[in-house]
Amino acid sequence: MTKAQLHELLGCGSEVVFARSSPEAKLRIADALRASGQVVAMTGDGVNDAPALRRADIGVAMGKSGTDVAREAATMVLTDDNFATIAVAVESGRRVYDNVRKFICYIFTHAVPEVVPFLVFALSGGAVPLPLTVMEILAIDLDTDTLPALALSREPAEPGLMDRPPRPRAPGVISRAMLARAWGFLGLISATLVMTGFFLTLRHAGWHPGAATGPGSPLNHAYRQATTVAWLGIVACQIGTAFAVRTDHASLRSVGVFTNRFLLGGIAFALAFAPLLVYMPAMHGIFGTAAVTPPQLAIVAPFPFIVW
């Protein structure tokens, strides 16, 4: 075949089988496919297969019967010489890639409700007191946020994982759609809920913009309760976000709500840590929190379900 004939054949849109191909032909096929923008995987075991293995996007060599040259040139080595292992490896790689994206989306989402309170404080010129203390932010980032984020790496594969076409080369792990979902949707909802809880608590105590809330003022205790509600609101939104980002292409029911026991353990840790910060007097001086009332807890209770 001429180069033009080969390109025409490979571009016809139907499946093509090349039987009894020589190493030179395999190299030509790999070059032609890559020139047309395809992602190429090439298998081989002999010394003559090394150029095609190296030229392909993913060279796959045989571990038992393959030569040392083929194994060195390849990207992946099948230690059992079983072609079915390739599909298993692709499925595992896709699952890991998806879970990395879920982890990033989860982390990015909580940047919004953590940053918005400081923006509100700054843009109001201090008329609105700071809704979160620095220590409360650290309690989120170092305690309640860590275990659920790590647990997302153990998510099972979503249904239809192997039915998807290969993803394009150009886009990275972080995409515009992910940022829009994390910052413009889940993060914005979380920030709105957190600030609503903060302002409802303050307004119920008779606060108005510019009123003093510092130590010794009549509203100081209400202010500390409001920051506690804001902190609890972020923790609650984290729980909802964790369930929301578990799936990207299928419903959570198809995977199973309770299938990730590591995530359930991380959420249980956050729920166990939160009462210590809220109701233990020794923590109040460190984090600037205060014990909240049942009606204030009722404000936060629906947050996970709203975000989810």
- How does residue 161 score in pLDDT terms, banded at 50, 70 and 90? confident
Write down the pLDDT at residue 96.
92
Write down the pLDDT at residue 158.
84
Distance CA 110, CA 50 (A): 48
Write down the pLDDT at residue 237.
94
Domains, the chain: 17-82 (3.40.50.1000), 98-307 (1.20.1110.10)
The predicted model gives 240-253 an average pLDDT of 86
Distance CA 240, CA 306 (A): 7
Distance CA 139, CA 118 (A): 16
What confidence tens digit (pLDDT) does each residue in 59-82 have? 999 888 888 899 999 999 998 888
The predicted model gives 174-197 an average pLDDT of 92
Distance CA 43, CA 85 (A): 12
- Cα–Cα nearest to 65, from 91, 47, 88: 47
Distance CA 95, CA 210 (A): 51
Distance CA 131, CA 111 (A): 15
Does 171 score more than 80 pLDDT? Answer: no
The predicted model gives 98-118 an average pLDDT of 91
- How does residue 105 score in pLDDT terms, banded at 50, 70 and 90? very high
What confidence tens digit (pLDDT) does each residue in 266-278 have? 999 999 999 988 9
- Supply the pTM of this predicted model: 0.81
Does 155 score more than 90 pLDDT? Answer: no
Cβ proximity of 36 and 54 under 8 Å: no
Per the prediction, the chain carries an average pLDDT of 89
- How does residue 258 score in pLDDT terms, banded at 50, 70 and 90? confident
For residue 216, is it left (φ>0), alpha (ψ between -120 and 50) or beta?
A: left
